[in-house]
Structure 1
């Protein structure tokens, strides 16, 4: 018999196609959107930490220390506005461009950004991509399973909402910049500087970040009520949230068609805005370091401006350490509440406060259901609201204790800066500028946990999608 020739068989590993990689990523995001959000946010922060560390990013042409680069990256991506370096003078033009791009990315939100990337890759939005985007507009969608309430944005509307996000951000910032630009020219600012500053200020207002491109900050515009009013409008539009902007863009003159989410957001925001201003007028009208030397109309306007900025805006025309302790406490409460859901603002969100108030009101009246504007709110929404407040309070408490131990600073200043970091507000008593590296890392972690959302963090850590298939016997503890 002829000798049979043996052939060498080479086993090649299967090649990963673009479609295979895309399917694996889609499968991962579908199983755990919250953890995917954490992964994307962390990756963005690491990338911008590297960018801010480059010599080309600093005006001195030297590498920025790791603690300062990381803190700035977190503050930029989380659209917080706190800084440990002089943002106006430390960074070069390239560094300022990094800041500008970073706040735009952070303002869109990680989950919304992920959906936009998915839309670009696949040229369409699948069900999973819509779920990811919807979870950014409603924290209840982070949890797997049915949601027993009308969503702020329905799944069929996610594609339109994403378009609204991109268009509204572009249009609003362009309009704000167009209104600020001639005012800066009138104030004698050179044309190029006026153009850059107007674009920069518009982005920082709408994203609720609060960075200023000039070393003196808002001192030059402290009495320019046109300039300050435009900033307030930009902060307000950024803080009410993209679902509200989307609803208003479709039925601005038809309030009856507004969803319960839109009505609660707008009403609670306006109440807090006015109540905060009234509180600041009462507490600061005789303080010579703040409003004591102003007349009645100036005091009222500056109080309104401060009330709006403590909601997450981050701009300031006065020295925050000069506020009375009572005013700092009011500012703490306003910052902790923050703005609207799926907005550029931080905090526990105004709808969370509204739901808890409605729950307490229903309990006081002895009614089994919460109701508002002719709609019934299910009990599971209260559970989410309580978890948001509990996690937020825990983060603030732990961070405050650690910063107090590190700095030995006064409690009111530490609490103010920690809440400002958690709520991504950006106002500071000056404590943040004096932090050692260990304190910078703690504050950076506080900003990170505040921005990604307490519900998203809880769902990612606790794997809340696990279902319990049995119920234990009921017994009521004594509460209150």
Structure 2
């Protein structure tokens, strides 16, 4: 007969949690959403009538998952207390995502063998395996520095150019800087940034905060550490920065061409205003969620281009969503190598491992399935068009927050589906990527090779 002490059982449970970090992460974020929902249900959280359960749940999920989709007009429906709750949920969700992603990177490195650990260290150059506390401090410091700087610029601009009282200007500056850095997209203006479409002192700082938050902690820290020696940047950092620059430039050009003559969006602006609006939309479409022109009035082809940008998303271990720029880049490199007949997929003089290629393909195909299936279901049961539904579903799954304006009009069960998509989209890529890495194993044998006909 075996006896076990309470201490032994506690240690066993702790070991189980370490073996299954995804479960702990899911429970933690679900708990934050539950607490946020209860707080938003309080009568003091609303300006007039208390929020319904779906309104509170949807808003809490959107805040914790740093999405920005809303079923109520934030500055009108919620009171000052409600806005403060939303802001705290955004900050907790954003810092939680960056912390969780970085901690899981450390966990993965610990579980790999020595050779794989050396490759991982060279590829990502994240914090050291025993440096978890320092990493957590860096997450908080980076967020505080960026958010404070952006908040100061915004507060001064609101006070000087728009005659806002000092307290209100500071509150607007703090709220939008935190929301932007965490890629949340919540705004204290009913029209988001539309009233500031041609104001670079509002749009540019918000875009800078969005980009920095979306790059990811490992990239930002490495750039700061090796700022004078970019040649020593890791492959991960080079890919992230290159893809971010290309997508920002390409997205700006796309919006500029697609909406140039649209009087409902950019058609009435001068050339400088159109360029600024296009850059803002390009930066925000990759999972931040602010809009300086009316998304619902964009051309249908612009919606499709926005869906592509949302689906790609931002950098790993950051506050952005989507399949991540590194996943997209790896798939692009694999396709290019195959077209050239190159047996190895290489980038920046480094060969991409077969395991990484499989993980990128798995991530992308699962993401496609997660977007397509709900789109088909919701289109069949709602009066809205497939392009509108596809936009909303993609925005929820990629935690972007842009909307064609139909979110509040959807049936409660469709809104509940968007809640699930926001939760899956926020935690799914992080936990799935870790799970794929941790499941890697070696076989003592290999089966005979086969080559099915492709195409």
Query: Could you state the TM-score of these two structures normalised by the residue count of structure 2?
Result: 0.91
Distance 2:340 2:398 in 1: 32
Q: 1:28 to 1:237 in 2, by over 3 A?
A: same
One of 341, 349, 352 as aligned partner of 2:324: 349
Deviation readout 1:239-273 (Å, 9 max, x if unpaired): 11111111122122220121111110000000011
1:33 aligns with 2:7: no
Q: Tell me the residue number matched to 1:180.
A: 154
1:43-58 counterparts in 2 under 5 A?
A: 43-58=31-46
Distance 2:360 2:96 in 1: 20
Q: Tell me the residue number matched to 1:192.
A: 167
Deviation readout 1:197-218 (Å, 9 max, x if unpaired): 1000100110011111233432
Distance 1:46 1:438 in 2: 18
Native 8 Å contact 2:392 2:404 kept in 1: yes
1:60 aligns with 2:48: yes
Deviation readout 1:312-335 (Å, 9 max, x if unpaired): 121111111111111111100000
Deviation readout 1:333-389 (Å, 9 max, x if unpaired): 000000000111100000111111111122222222222222222111111111110
Query: Could you state the TM-score of these two structures normalised by the residue count of structure 1?
Result: 0.86
The Cα shift of 1:160 comes to: 3.2
Q: Tell me the residue number matched to 2:369.
A: 394
One of 128, 135, 138 as aligned partner of 2:104: 135
Q: Tell me the residue number matched to 1:382.
A: 357
Native 8 Å contact 1:137 1:243 kept in 2: no
User: What's the RMSD between the two structures over aligned residues?
Assistant: 2.6
The Cα shift of 1:85 comes to: 1.1
1:242 aligns with 2:217: yes
The Cα shift of 1:454 comes to: 3.2
Count of aligned pairs? 445
1:204 aligns with 2:174: no
Q: Tell me the residue number matched to 2:338.
A: 363
Give the unaligned 5+ runs of structure 1.
Answer: 1-12, 114-131
1:150 aligns with 2:120: yes
Q: Tell me the residue number matched to 1:75.
A: 62
For the pair shown, which has the larger CA radius of gyration, 1 or 2? 1
One of 80, 85, 93 as aligned partner of 1:93: 80
Q: 1:156 to 1:110 in 2, by over 3 A?
A: same
Native 8 Å contact 2:97 2:318 kept in 1: no
The Cα shift of 1:233 comes to: 0.6
Native 8 Å contact 1:75 1:82 kept in 2: yes
Q: 1:25 to 1:197 in 2, by over 3 A?
A: farther
SS across alignment from 2:193: helix
